[in-house]
Structure 1
Amino acid sequence: MLNSEKWQPYRHAQPAEAAKELVIPNAMPDDERVWVPVDDNVCFRPLCLSASSGYWVNLLRVRKAGVLSRHRHPQAVHGFVLKGEWRYLEHDWVAREGGYVYEAPGETHTLVVDPHVEEMITLFQVNGAMIYVDPDGNNVGYDDVFTRIAKCRAHYEENGLGGGYIDQFIR
C-alpha cells in the first residue's frame, strides 16, 4: 500500500516565488513574552502577519471582564473561540468555546468579555484593518498589518526577545 502513487510526494520543485510555509509548533506559547499587550489583561499572540496581502492571524487573549474595543472592518474577519466566550453589544448571540464567527465587512461592533469569564482566547484572521470608532462611528484610530508588526517589534525589542523575533511570522 505504501508503494502506491497516493503515498508518493509531489516530484517537482515548488514555485520559486512562493512564500515559505509557516509552521508554529507551539501556537499557545509557554513564554509569556510572546504575547503582545494591547491593554490591561488584553494581549495578542501573532501567528501570521501577511504584509503582502494585508491580513493578520493572531490569538486574542483576555484575562478580565470589560469592553475591549468598538470597531469596524472594511473586509471580512474570521474567528474561532478556543477558550471562554465573548459577545458584541450590538448582537444577541455569544461566541463560545468551539464556536466559529464570521464578521461581515462594514459592520461595526463592540467586543465584550463578561465578568463570569476568567480567560478568553480566540483565533482571529483579520483582513484589511480594524477601524476603531466612538459610539457615533467617528474614527478614533485603526490597526492594520503594519501597525501590528510595529507593535510586535517594539514589544519584543523591549522584553528581550529582540525586534527581529517578529520577522518569522511575516509573509
Structure 2
Amino acid sequence: MYKVLDGSAHPLAPKEIAIPAMPEDERIWVPQAEGVWFRPMMLNTLQGQWCNLLRVRRAGILSKHLHPQPVHGYVIKGRWHYLEHDWVAETGSYVFEPPGEIHTLTVPEDCEEMITFFNISGCMVYLDENNEQIGFEDVFTKIDMCRQHYIDVGLGADYVDQFVR
C-alpha cells in the first residue's frame, strides 16, 4: 500500500498543470488556419485527449467535421453555431457534442472574436461536402503543430512539453 507522507500525489502520477488560461504572450497561440488559433492547455497522450482554447477572429465556416468520442465546450467570448442545428453557442454557453455527429462550425459576421474552451477526446475527422474524410487531428498532430510553431516563434521545441501528459 502506498502511504502519502507529505500531502503530495502518488510518485507515478503525472504532474498537475496550473497555467493562466489567457496568456499575455501572443506567441503561445498556435495558428491553425487564417484567423484561427488554438492555445494548448493539456495534451494527454495516454488517453488521446486535448484541452485547448479556440480563438477565431474571422467570420465564416471553420470546418465540417465529426468526433468519434464526446466533446465538451464552454464559450468564453463571442458566439458560434453549427450549420446543422438551430441553436447558437454564446458567451457562457456549454456545448456537448455526441460521438459521430457531423457538424460545420461557423462564426457569424458580426462576431469580432470568439474564444471557446474545448475538451476533446479521440480525434477530429475533417470532411468534405460529401462527408468523405479529407484529414484529421489528434493529440499527436496537435503536439507536432505546437512544437513547430514554438520553434518558429523562438520559444523552443520543448515549450510544448509543459502541456503534455
The TM tier, using the shorter chain, reads: over 0.9
CA deviation string 1:113-159 (max 9, x = no partner): 01000000000001000000012210000000000000000000010
CA distance in 2, matches of 1:152, 1:38: 10
Tell me the percent identity. Answer: 55
Instruction: Give, in angstroms, the shift of residue 112 of structure 1.
Output: 0.2
CA distance in 1, matches of 2:42, 2:21: 11
Report the counterpart of residue 46 of structure 1 in structure 2. 40
RMSD of the alignment, in Å? Answer: 1.4
CA deviation string 1:6-42 (max 9, x = no partner): xxxx865522211111111x21011110000011110
SS at match of 1:53: coil
Report the counterpart of residue 120 of structure 1 in structure 2. 114
Report the counterpart of residue 26 of structure 2 in structure 1. 32
Match status 1:63 vs 2:54: no
Structure (1 or 2) with the larger CA radius of gyration: 1
CA distance in 2, matches of 1:111, 1:145: 20
Instruction: Give, in angstroms, the shift of residue 110 of structure 1.
Output: 0.3
Match status 1:15 vs 2:10: yes
CA distance in 2, matches of 1:165, 1:11: 29
**Where does structure 2 lack aligned partners over 5 or more consecutive residues?**
none
Report the counterpart of residue 138 of structure 1 in structure 2. 132
Report the counterpart of residue 4 of structure 1 in structure 2. none
Q: Name the TM-score, length of structure 2 as normaliser.
A: 0.95
Report the counterpart of residue 143 of structure 2 in structure 1. 149
CA distance in 2, matches of 1:11, 1:143: 40
CA deviation string 1:78-131 (max 9, x = no partner): 000000000000000000000000000000100000100000000000100000
CA distance in 1, matches of 2:61, 2:118: 17
Question: What is the aligned length?
Answer: 162
CA distance in 2, matches of 1:50, 1:13: 21
- 1:102 alignment partner AA: F
